Amino acid sequence: MAKPRRLRRPRTTLLILVLISITIITLDARGGLNSFTSGVKSVAADAFSPIRSGVDGLVRPIGSFLAGSVHYGAVREQNQKLQAEIGSLRQQMLEQQNAAQALRQLQALSALNNLPTVQGLQQVKTEVINFNTSDFAATVEIGVGRDQGVTLGMPVMGSGGATGGLIGQVVFASKSTSTVRLLTDGQSTVGVAYGPGDYAVLNGQGAGQPLTAGLIPSNTPVPKGTIFVTSGLQGAIFPQGLPVAEVTSTKSGSVANLESVELRPVADFAHLRYVSVLLWGPAGGAGTSVAGP
């Protein structure tokens, strides 16, 4: 009587497993197991390689995003620190540039001592603390006043050119500050000379506008570059010989048989930071103090 088929199947399976076990033991004893398992691993790796690549391609961006999110705060904080350091360095550079510019202007003001008129006068150097300009008016406020000997009418000089030049006149003086009307102010007039016995009057036309010279007869040669200086005539409001302005253009006989002359201040109005007040009063000459408000 034949044995049932279903009983033979477990025995066959058991036999196959025993044979596999014996084979593995034999291979292991002979050192061939490593090559066998390596082959199995290789086949498995080849089989799963596409799947692994797909998983890596999906997981790696997510991991990078999560890592970036974790470090974003630290990176932002570091960036803010760097920006603050850059801002600090820029501020230091600006301060150094301002200090260098201030030193240059103060050194340039020392050139005033080369003017014979200035050599006999006391000076008070100070800083411009406020600008007041409009289309027609032009004044500045300076950091000295009556306490430093500054009074109404005194001339004020600025750096520029070879020896510096006149910038205006004190029109108001308090205890610690003064107001200076600049040459460019629409109300400013200065008696000047441009040659032996040649006199004129300079007039301001407003901030940023050229100065004009009046009372110069037609066909009078006034070459470009000619320097006009204070005339110092009897009763003049400024001492004689202070550089005032330089001729920039001349047009002959344009108005009532007079020369039309335009000039620019000798002093550097574009970088007006430090100035020097000459302690001179027109009523009595050098060293005289004029009563202020």
Q: Work out the pLDDT band at 131, boundaries 50, 70, 90.
A: very high
Q: What is the number of domains present in the chain? A: 2
Q: Which of 77, 112, 147 is the last residue of a domain?
A: 112
Q: How confident is the model at residue 133, as a pLDDT?
A: 82
Q: Work out the pLDDT band at 138, boundaries 50, 70, 90.
A: very high
**For residue 54, is it within any domain?**
yes
Length of the chain: 293
Number of Cβ within 10 Å of residue 141's Cβ equals 15
Q: How confident is the model at residue 287, as a pLDDT?
A: 41
Residues 101 and 123 placed together within one structural domain of the fold: no
- Cβ proximity of 277 and 170 under 8 Å: yes
Query: Is pLDDT of 7 > 70?
Result: no
The model's pTM: 0.66
Could you give phi then psi for residue 190, rounded to 5 degrees? -135, 125
Residues 139 and 278 placed together within one structural domain of the fold: yes
**For residue 293, is it within any domain?**
no
Residues 259 and 125 placed together within one structural domain of the fold: yes
pLDDT tens-digit profile of 93-119? 877 777 777 777 778 788 898 999 898
**Which range in 3-7, 47-51, 136-140, 224-228 is most confidently predicted, on average pLDDT?**
224-228
Residues 64 and 157 placed together within one structural domain of the fold: no
Query: Is pLDDT of 290 > 60?
Result: no
**Which residues are CB-neighbours of 282 under 8 A, at least 6 positions away?**
153, 235, 236, 237, 238, 290
- Residue from 290, 6, 14, 5 nearest 154 by CA: 290
Query: Is pLDDT of 12 > 80?
Result: no
**For residue 39, is it within any domain?**
yes
Residues 34 and 136 placed together within one structural domain of the fold: no
**Which residues are CB-neighbours of 216 under 8 A, at least 6 positions away?**
194, 198, 200, 222, 258, 259, 261
Q: Which domain holds residue 68?
A: 7-112
Query: Is pLDDT of 154 > 90?
Result: yes
pLDDT tens-digit profile of 177-199? 999 999 999 999 999 999 988 99
Q: Residues 57-76: what's their mean pLDDT?
A: 63
Q: Which of 95, 112, 129 is the last residue of a domain?
A: 112
- Residue from 94, 93, 101, 95 nearest 270 by CA: 101
Residues 78 and 140 placed together within one structural domain of the fold: no
CA distance 13 to 176: 115
